[in-house]
Amino acid sequence: MNANALKYRLIGKPLRSSELQAQRYGVLWGLPVLSSDAISSVAYATEEILLVLVPVLGMAAYTPMLGVAGVIIGLLFMLILCYRQVIDAYPQGGGAYSVARENLGRIPSLIAASGLIIGYMLTIAVSSCSGAAAIVSAIPQVEPLRVPLIVLFILLLTVGNLRGLRESSKAFGLPTYFFVASMLAMIAIGAVKAALGQVEPAEQAAQLSQTTGDLTLFLFLHAFSSGCSALTGVEAISNSVPNFSDPSRRNAKVTLVALGLIVLCIFGGSCALAMLYHAAPADNLTVIAQIAAGVFGSDSIGFYLIQTTTALILLLAANTAYNGLPQLMSLLAQDSFLPKRFADKGSRLVYSHGIVFASTFAIVLVVAFNGDTHLLIPLYAAGVFLSFTLAQGGMVIHWRRKRCRSWMRKALINGAGAAVTALVFAIIVSSNFLAGAWISLLAIGCAAWAMNAIFHHYQNVKKALGLNDNERAKRLLLAEAPKARIIIPAYAINKPFIKTLNYARGLSDNIEVYHVKVSAQATRRFKADYQKLEISIPLVIEKAPYRNVNEVLLDHIDEKLGELEKHETLTIVIPQLVTKIWQMPLHNQTTLMLESALVGRRNVAMVTIPYLIDS
């Protein structure tokens, strides 16, 4: 009961299944909760682009950066166009997985799902690492505590999400608006200052003189693929349509467009400011922090405000994954691709198993990559763009099958989306393969294989257990159930033995008491005590010359199993001493041994009769 009290304290009292409808949100709260990933990626996407360009081009990096940012924003609006059609076609959510499942078949849908799962887990890891980087930029002293801090944030998110959607959305929604507001303010003030010619370049600009090469196509594409991590949040909205209040489709579509406009303003704006203020990647000071220092002054309230809201939105961006991943996993579980429990809602009406799963893997990633955003980025976008491609490809098939009004136009839009995202996927994989994309691809392959294996296992079990028709079930029901055959293994005549004997006599008349002889003296005594009971139940004694009592008992059971008639089951009835847990090593755990040994045998049932020792 104490464990339950602690659980209620942590995640709140259980909610009734009938309270489900109430746990949804409109555009106002749905936007910040589901879009914080995409919006927050501004905090690292600009930096990731510069990280590729600056070491090679130096001062000349800013013009191609604007080009890269422009292409990414164009891609974003293309994805939004495509995903509006997905929301229309699949209002039950599921995004890439549902679409691929219905239109492309099992294996492609599992690959899409694996890509999304890996992507979601990386969202949690990358966002919290990047959030920690914003904190370190403001307070460099916390650098040694970075990894434990990240883990702590993930644990807080876990608890928040286990408590349930509504409370999460309010707590986690406000910081998104704060971030957007403070970024817009920074961009506006920065632009005005630049127009007035009051710009001081950031300190890091010193290194910009080191130019080592020219702008090549490969360099441009590499920078582009790093910046594509900004687009990883888009599918969350289309996966979560059922979480919107009615009219859920319309709300989801409005949210999607709002997201696009916000990203356009602040991603575009911050890229422009990075150019104007000559911000360049450096240790322990992010590009956004350099811009904020340039606009507001490096120890101003404005600087700390930007760092605070950046850190908050990044940490909460991880929350996007907590909305998308458990829902996706529950869909997969319903379709028998994951253990059934992922489809069960916990006491607070959220998919608790999926939430805990996501947190566990994200923490493993953070610790394995030492909390470094730059190391995680190459793993990130590949999976997401793979699932984008499969979703858009699936949509083309969908429209072709449906042949609804203006299906050609719709198929064309999604087809173009599929082609572009496939190209981007190829660019991401080829420019980041050795840097980490291979890990993602391997993980996606393994996950898809495992889910397929799980599917086959459930199919086999269903076939093995199922009763196709009712006649079959009735035929299997025996008209006359055979009486039980019972063996009672015994080593001493004591109270638990008598209790067991009484119990067994209530079940059947076909009982045998079975004793293994190791010491002649002990067996003599057992026999004498047994005879004094004056009961007619036969006593069978067998020798264990090698003192292997359990093996002799098992051999006897196997022999008896061989003698069973059809439909008969052998029943082993055995007393089990129940002591406090730390006293268990003081007693022979024959019951446990028998249980694990008998587990592979058919037609043998085991009954344990507990005997409690109070002291």
End-to-end Cα spacing for the chain = 22
Cβ-based nearer residue to a copy of itself, 215 or 606? 606
Q: Which of 578, 590, 593, 597 binds a copy of itself (CB under 8 A)?
A: 578
Please report how close the Cβ of residue 180 comes to a copy of itself at its closest, in angstroms. 38
Q: Which is nearer to a copy of itself, 402 or 505 (CB)?
A: 505
Q: Which is nearer to a copy of itself, 274 or 511 (CB)?
A: 511
The amino acid at residue 23 is Q
Handedness of CA 308, 325, 264, 25 (dihedral sign): negative
Task: Identify the residue among 2, 3, 5, 17 touching a copy of itself (CB under 8 A).
Answer: 17
Between CA 156 and CA 533 the distance in angstroms is: 63
Closer to a copy of itself by Cβ: residue 308 or 579 = 579
- Given the complex with a copy of itself, which of 188 and 473 has the nearer CB atom? 473
Residues 406-435 that bind a copy of itself (CB under 8 A): none
**Cβ distance to a copy of itself smaller for residue 163 or 345:** 345
- Inter-residue contact 509 to 518 (CB < 8 Å): no
User: DSSP code of 25?
Assistant: B
Interface with a copy of itself (CB under 8 A), residue from 139, 261, 408, 498: 498
| Contacting a copy of itself within 288-347 (CB under 8 A) | 339-341, 344-347
As a whole number of angstroms, the distance between CA 354 and CA 157 comes to: 13
At 282, list the tokens: 């450096």
Q: Which residue has the tokens 């996993």?
A: 329
User: In this chain, which stretch among 71-79, 299-307, 356-364, 581-589 interacts with a copy of itself, using CB under 8 A?
Assistant: 581-589
CB 262 within 8 Å of CB 39:
yes
Could you identify the residue written with the tokens 């198929």? 411
Residue 124 as a binder of a copy of itself (CB under 8 A): the answer is no
For position 245 contacting a copy of itself by CB under 8 A, the verdict is no
Is residue 473 part of the contact set for a copy of itself (CB under 8 A)?
Answer: yes
Contact of 227 with 3, CB cutoff 8 Å: no
* By CB under 8 A, residue 564 contacts a copy of itself: no
Q: What is the DSSP string of 210-272?
A: -------HHHHHHHHHHHGGGGTTHHHHHHTGGGBPSSHHHHHHHHHHHHHHHHHHHHHHHHH
Residue from 12, 15, 191, 268 that binds a copy of itself (CB under 8 A)?
15
What is the distance between the alpha carbons of residues 136 and 535, in angstroms, rounded to a whole number? 80
Q: Whole-number minimum distance, CB 487 to a copy of itself, in Å?
A: 14
Q: Closer to a copy of itself by CB, 400 or 556: give it.
A: 556
CA distance 483 to 499: 21
Q: What is the dihedral of CA 245, 163, 9, 157, to 10 degrees?
A: -140
Give whichever of 405 and 566 is closer to a copy of itself, judged by the CB atom.
Answer: 566
Among 92, 474, 562, 566, binds a copy of itself (CB under 8 A): 474
- x/- contact string, 519-558, with a copy of itself (CB under 8 A)? ----------x--xxxx---------xxxx----------
Q: What share of the chain is helix, strand, coil (3-state, %, to 5)?
A: 75, 5, 20
Does residue number 585 form part of the binding site for a copy of itself (CB under 8 A)? Answer: yes
Q: Which residues contact 541 (CB under 8 A, 6 or more apart)?
A: 515, 516, 517, 523, 527
Task: Name 95's Cβ contacts closer than 8 Å, sequence gap at least 6.
Answer: 83, 86, 116, 235, 238, 239, 328, 387, 391
Instruction: Name which of residues 74 to 93 contact a copy of itself (CB under 8 A).
Output: none
For Cα atoms 383, 390, 449, give the angle at the middle one, nearest 5 degrees: 60
The pairs formed by 503-508 with CB atoms below 8 angstroms and a separation of 24 or more are 503/573, 503/607, 503/609, 504/573, 505/537, 507/571, 507/573, 508/483, 508/484, 508/571
Mask: binding to a copy of itself, 383-402, rule CB under 8 A, as x and -? --------------------
CA-nearest of 267, 284, 290 to 65 is 267
CA distance 564 to 599: 18
Cβ-based nearer residue to a copy of itself, 298 or 583: 583
Which residues are bridge partners to 575 per DSSP?
609
Q: Which is nearer to a copy of itself, 298 or 502 (CB)?
A: 502
CB 448, CB 531: distance < 8 Å: no
Backbone φ and ψ of 215, nearest 5°: -75, 115
- Residues 445-464 binding a copy of itself (CB under 8 A) are 454, 457-458, 460-461, 464
With contacts defined by CB under 8 A, name the span among 123-131, 233-241, 553-561, 577-585 that binds a copy of itself: 577-585
Of residues 24 through 63, those in contact with a copy of itself by CB under 8 A are none
Total number of residues binding a copy of itself (CB under 8 A)? 85
Judged by beta carbon, residue 210 or residue 494, the one nearer a copy of itself is 494
Q: Write down the least CB distance from residue 95 to a copy of itself, Å.
A: 25
CB of 154 to a copy of itself, least distance (A): 23
Stretch that binds a copy of itself, among 44-52, 116-124, 162-170, 580-588 (CB under 8 A): 580-588
Which tokens hold the place of 605?
Answer: 């049932």
CB-wise, 197 or 585, nearer to a copy of itself? 585
Q: Which of 207, 452, 523, 569 binds a copy of itself (CB under 8 A)?
A: 569
Which residue in this structure is represented by tokens 């076909």? 510
Residues within window 336-375 making contact with a copy of itself, judged by CB under 8 A: 339-341, 344-347
Cα dihedral sign for 594, 596, 597, 601?
Answer: positive
The window from 10-18, 22-30, 34-42, 407-415 that contacts a copy of itself (CB under 8 A) reads 10-18
Q: Does 403 bind a copy of itself (CB under 8 A)?
A: no
Q: Which stretch binds a copy of itself (CB under 8 A): 354-362, 386-394, 401-409, 595-603?
A: 595-603
